[in-house]
Amino acid sequence: MIAEILASCYRRVMTVADELGVRTLSIPAISTGIYDYPPEAAAHVAVRALLTVRSNVERVRLVAFDDENDQALSAALAHAADDD
């Protein structure tokens, strides 16, 4: 349930970006700070959601606010690349 809400947040960001005609977007790691969602799980949700949403955005930068989130995002991106 929580993972789906988080994925919905990322999909909505992309929808709004499309509505605004955004081509490049930076998105922070969502829910891993004060909400204490596990960084590894959050990173996989983010990457999966962003790779499956249809959008005209050409570049998305995932922004980590600490080393733990950076490593989690890097691992999730590497895993997604392996799946291709």
Per DSSP, which regions of the chain are E strands? 24-28, 59-63
Q: What percent of the chain has pLDDT over 70?
A: 99
Mean pLDDT of the chain: 94
Q: What domain range is 74 assigned to?
A: 2-83
> 59 - beta bridge partners?
24
Give the mean model confidence (pLDDT) for residues 44-57: 96
CATH number, domain at 18? 3.40.220.10
Give the mean model confidence (pLDDT) for residues 4-17: 97
Q: What is the pTM of this model?
A: 0.90
How many angstroms separate the CA atoms of 82 and 84, rounded? 5
Tally of domains within the chain: 1
